Amino acid sequence: MASASTTDLDQLAINTIRTLSMDGVQQANSGHPGTPMALAPVAYTLWSEFLKYDPAQPTWPGRDRFILSCGHASMLLYSLIHLAGIERVDERGQTVGQPALTLDDLRNFRQLGSPTPGHPEYHHTTGVETTTGPLGQGLGNSVGFAMAEAWLAKRYNKPGCELFDYNVYALCSDGDIMEGIGSEAASLAGHLKLDNLCWIYDDNHITIEGETSLAFSEDVAARFLAYGWHVVKVGNANDLSALRAAYQSFLDTHDRPTLIIVRSHIGWGSPNKQDSHEAHGAPLGEEEVALTKDAYGWPREPKFYVPDEVREHFSATLGQRGAAAYAAWEETLEQYARQHPELAAELKQIQAHQLPKGWDSGIPSFPADAKGVATRSASGKVLNAVAAKIPWMIGGSADLAPSNNTHLGFDGAGSFGPQEHGGRNLHFGIREHVMGSALNGMVLSGLRAYGGTFLVFSDYMRPAIRLAALMRVPALYIFTHDSIGLGEDGPTHQPVEHLAALRAIPDLLVVRPADANEVAEAYRTVLPIHDRPAALVLTRQNLPTIDRGKYASAAGVAQGAYVVADSEQPRVILMASGSELSLCMEAYEALQKDGIAARVVSMPCWELFEAQDEAYRESVLPATITARVAVEAGVVQGWERYLGTAGKFVGMNSFGASAPLKDVMKRFGFTVENVIATAKAVLK
Ligand SMILES: Cc1ncc(C[n+]2csc(CCOP(=O)(O)OP(=O)(O)O)c2C)c(N)n1
Ligand SMILES: [Mg+2]
């Protein structure tokens, strides 16, 4: 069964991975056994002979990253984490003297509260670098991880002190390679010549519906060559010497990313299910598990059997290599800290998720101004002010930097390109999906990464935003052109349902500032939050800069919603986010003149408001004032909770229209007159 290059110990370890995976899936009566069985030798060779990873230091910044993009093969990763003896870390990334995964954890695969969920989840299981399962995301993440490594190396490595020199490996399946995000990721990585990036493609000719030939016939190798990748083929997933040579050729390639295409057979060794899509997503069945163990020359019982030599072998290979590399790195770091104390201090802060002292000291404040500025433009100023103080804040746009105002213009900011990996302005090209996914890889590497596009195209990156929220990582999205207020480009570009759609994502902060000073406060509020992603939602059009001498301070943004303008005993509450706040302010003044006592509430961020205590929320929106009007250039969805049954909404219930700003706003009812009339109507 073993090829000439495979020793008994190799084979023993490989079969341990296979049988643990089969047993785990069988015990759970749910999961994906076939892919781990086929890929065991591929992952084993990488981990035992190449991967730079110290199981005792799972958060060591210098480690290689291993990403299982085909997250359905999670038992493969869990088996490896167990066999490698990776130690568990706590919330702060400190080891706690316990294994990341015990055999019992493998026995509890897919059970409530176990650290072995159906698909690998970051935060949940030490050794899992990123959450995968939605195919293609791991590949997108891997590009971000690789960009981050390249950037960190450029900024922090010094002659004789090479702190960052790690590689990023992603194991992927047909689905990853078929998904559009996989293509975006490959195209970007090829362009950027990320030679620290290695994808291993499991070319097994099988997906859920059957043979890949049902839907997939392109020449993948030719495609990747065209992207500028180095491509290596391994004809047989069980041929360890071919695998070794392939990994070595990746290490020997210094000007481009590498794709290793491995021909494998799903469910390898299973007498009745090998090469069948039946081995993909269902347990083999007790009988077939037994027959397969027979075929491997493996005892049928006990289940979850791990020969002692296998753990010892992982420890003698991956473990010893990793420990030595870590020790050498620590020594380098000590020397580095003596020679470059300031840079070393930055690295400490990155690890601790801290911001530099005085990071917000350059944030401008904006004088009252009736003509005002677009919040996108205020954002550009604030972003530059904070990025100048946070050296590891890097980002860019999906080709819309001049519109999104995401460009960092200060001295030395530079551009990140194929020949220059130290620049801070990233250029994602028109690839929103991989932008979102790469941001996740970058923030998982400690960088404070941001990405911009038009709000309407947040749809193109939604799966990655969702994963950032699920992982609780601080990706920052800068979404501009946030409503029909963008005008002439028309309904294809005018977001209508997007605020509601983003607010529907748990743990995502959606912040829509109403003027330039709210933009400043939005940055001040979200940047210290390192365990949630945030979306800033900004206008194309100018908005008046509210007179904060006359009205309340914009510092209220930190509470998510606050009273901007008030009366002694308000009878009606006008609420708005973003560009619609100024309509409410004007309506408020008119109502006051008419003798109608009103209150204006700015609501830039519902999630932060919901996080305030009951007393604060009641002070902003007293239950007794039921006459309420909400104004937002989006759909009503979600506003009901603030409007109650007596309130009315001024918003969108259709797509927009292509016309100049004034006309389109009027056409959809965004006028001071309409807000006044609606306020009077709710008072009746
Ligand atoms: C974006 C996305 N779409 C659909 C799925 C559901 N799904 C899981 S695996 C899979 C395809 C399985 O084929 P392949 O990727 O070749 O994996 P293999 O079975 O060969 O391991 C699909 C469609 C998914 N996980 N992610
Ligand atoms: Mg497949």
pLDDT digits (tens, 9 = 90+) for 214-256: 999 999 999 999 999 999 999 999 999 999 999 999 999 999 9
Smallest CA-to-CA distance from 71 within 140, 126, 135, 26 is with 135
Residue 645 alpha carbon to ligand 1 centre in Å: 45
CA-nearest residue for atom 13, ligand 1, is 207
Q: Provide the 10 A C-beta neighbour count for residue 68.
A: 29
Task: Report DSSP letters for 180-205, one per residue.
Answer: HHHHHHHHHHHHHT-TTEEEEEEE-S
Q: Answer positive or negative: Cα dihedral of 484, 486, 488, 493.
A: negative
CA-nearest residue for atom 9, ligand 1, is 72
pLDDT of residue 447: 98
d(CA 82, CA 107): 12
Any atom of ligand 1 within 6 Å of the Cβ of 175: yes
Helix (H, G, I), strand (E, B) or coil at 593: helix
Give the atom of ligand 1 at the shortest distance from the alpha carbon of 277. Answer: 19
Please say if the pLDDT value at position 2 is more than 70.
Answer: no
Q: In order of start, what are the domains of the chain with their CATH numbers?
A: 35-265+310-326 (3.40.50.970), 369-544 (3.40.50.970), 558-683 (3.40.50.920)
Sheet holding 534-537, edge to edge: 425-427, 393-397, 448-454, 476-480, 534-537, 509-511
pLDDT of residue 6: 74
* Helix ranges (DSSP H) in 419-541: 432-444, 462-471, 498-503, 516-526
Name the burial class of residue 415, with classes exposed (0-12), middle (13-18) and buried (19+) by CB atoms within 10 angstroms of its CB: middle
Query: Tens digits of per-residue pLDDT, 188-199?
Result: 999 999 999 999
Instruction: Evaluate whether 612 touches 558 at the Cβ level (below 8 Å).
Output: no
Instruction: Evaluate whether 658 touches 488 at the Cβ level (below 8 Å).
Output: yes
Give the atom of ligand 1 at the shortest distance from the alpha carbon of 280. Answer: 19
Any atom of ligand 1 within 6 Å of the Cβ of 277: no
Any atom of ligand 1 within 6 Å of the Cβ of 204: yes
Any atom of ligand 1 within 6 Å of the Cβ of 72: yes
Amino acid (one-letter) located at 379 = S
What ligand is nearest to the CA atom of residue 38? 1
Look-up of token digits 């890929």? 39
Q: Provide the 10 A C-beta neighbour count for residue 616.
A: 15
Smallest CA-to-CA distance from 198 within 227, 175, 168, 163 is with 168
First to last CA, the chain: 84
Amino acid (one-letter) located at 396 = G
* Residue 331: both structure tokens together: 């020594």
Q: Provide the 10 A C-beta neighbour count for residue 526.
A: 22
Q: Can you say how many angstroms the Cα of residue 629 is from the centroid of all Cα atoms in its chain?
A: 35
Share of the chain above pLDDT 90, in %: 98
Q: Report the relative pairing of strands 87-89 and 95-99 from DSSP bridges.
A: antiparallel
Give the atom of ligand 1 at the shortest distance from the alpha carbon of 174. Answer: 16
Collect all residues with Cβ–Cβ distance below 8 Å to 461 and sequence separation of at least 6.
Answer: 432, 433, 435, 436, 437, 451, 453, 477
Task: State the pLDDT confidence band at 672, using cuts at 50, 70 and 90.
Answer: very high
What ligand is nearest to the CA atom of residue 180? 1
Distances (CA, A) of 247 to 197, 239, 652: 11, 13, 55
Residue 135 alpha carbon to ligand 1 centre in Å: 6
Amino acid (one-letter) located at 232 = V
Any atom of ligand 1 within 6 Å of the Cβ of 70: yes
Give the atom of ligand 1 at the shortest distance from the alpha carbon of 135. Answer: 26
- Among 39, 42, 69, 70, name the best residue to mutate to test ligand 1's pocket (greatest count of ligand atoms within 8 A of Cβ): 70
Give me the count of residues in the chain. Answer: 684
What mean pLDDT do residues 80-103 have?
A: 96
Where is 212: in which H helix or E strand?
Answer: none
Please say if the pLDDT value at position 581 is more than 80.
Answer: yes
Residue 175 alpha carbon to ligand 1 centre in Å: 5
Collect all residues with Cβ–Cβ distance below 8 Å to 375 and sequence separation of at least 6.
Answer: 513, 514, 515, 516, 518, 519, 538, 539, 543, 578, 579
Look-up of token digits 């219930």? 653
Any atom of ligand 1 within 6 Å of the Cβ of 207: yes
Give the atom of ligand 1 at the shortest distance from the alpha carbon of 279. Answer: 19
pLDDT of residue 5: 65
Task: State the pLDDT confidence band at 1, using cuts at 50, 70 and 90.
Answer: very low
Residue 71 alpha carbon to ligand 2 centre in Å: 12
Active site residues: 432
What ligand is nearest to the CA atom of residue 32? 1
Amino acid (one-letter) located at 616 = Y
- Among 208, 261, 266, name the best residue to mutate to test ligand 1's pocket (greatest count of ligand atoms within 8 A of Cβ): 208
Any atom of ligand 1 within 6 Å of the Cβ of 173: yes
Residue 276 DSSP symbol = S
pLDDT of residue 402: 98
Cis peptide before 302 (omega within 30 of 0): yes
Q: Answer positive or negative: Cα dihedral of 329, 334, 338, 342.
A: positive
Share of the chain above pLDDT 70, in %: 99
Query: Tens digits of per-residue pLDDT, 360-373?
Result: 999 999 999 999 99
* Residue 189: both structure tokens together: 């990585």
Residue 178 alpha carbon to ligand 1 centre in Å: 10
Please say if the pLDDT value at position 404 is more than 70.
Answer: yes
Q: What is the dihedral of CA 22, 26, 28, 30, to 10 degrees?
A: 90
Any atom of ligand 1 within 6 Å of the Cβ of 275: no
Q: Across all residues in the chain, what is the average pLDDT?
A: 97
What mean pLDDT do residues 570-594 have?
A: 98
pLDDT of residue 7: 82
Smallest CA-to-CA distance from 100 within 142, 167, 52, 53 is with 53
Helix (H, G, I), strand (E, B) or coil at 572: strand
* Residue 540: both structure tokens together: 């194309």
d(CA 571, CA 626): 8
Q: For 43-196, where are the E strands, in sequence order? A: 65-68, 87-89, 95-99, 168-172
Give the atom of ligand 1 at the shortest distance from the alpha carbon of 281. Answer: 19
d(CA 352, CA 346): 10
Task: State the pLDDT confidence band at 403, using cuts at 50, 70 and 90.
Answer: very high
Q: Answer positive or negative: Cα dihedral of 84, 90, 96, 101.
A: negative
Instruction: Evaluate whether 495 touches 634 at the Cβ level (below 8 Å).
Output: yes
Residue 73 alpha carbon to ligand 2 centre in Å: 11
What mean pLDDT do residues 642-655 have?
A: 97
pTM above 0.85, yes or no: yes
Smallest CA-to-CA distance from 28 within 114, 109, 125 is with 109
Q: Give Dmax over CA atoms of the chain in angstroms.
A: 93
* Residue 566: both structure tokens together: 């008030």
CA-nearest residue for atom 18, ligand 1, is 207
Instruction: Evaluate whether 174 touches 206 at the Cβ level (below 8 Å).
Output: yes
What mean pLDDT do residues 440-457 have?
A: 98
- Among 280, 437, 461, name the best residue to mutate to test ligand 1's pocket (greatest count of ligand atoms within 8 A of Cβ): 280
d(CA 504, CA 358): 34
Query: Tens digits of per-residue pLDDT, 295-339?
Result: 999 999 999 999 999 999 999 999 999 999 999 999 999 999 999
Any atom of ligand 1 within 6 Å of the Cβ of 464: no
* Residue 478: both structure tokens together: 């800068």
Q: At what angle do helices 180-192 and 137-156 cross, to 10 degrees?
A: 20
Residue 35 alpha carbon to ligand 2 centre in Å: 8
Q: Can you say how many angstroms the Cα of residue 31 is from the centroid of all Cα atoms in its chain?
A: 25
Instruction: Evaluate whether 611 touches 636 at the Cβ level (below 8 Å).
Output: no
Residue 15 has phi, psi (to 5 degrees) of -70, -25
Residue 180 alpha carbon to ligand 1 centre in Å: 13
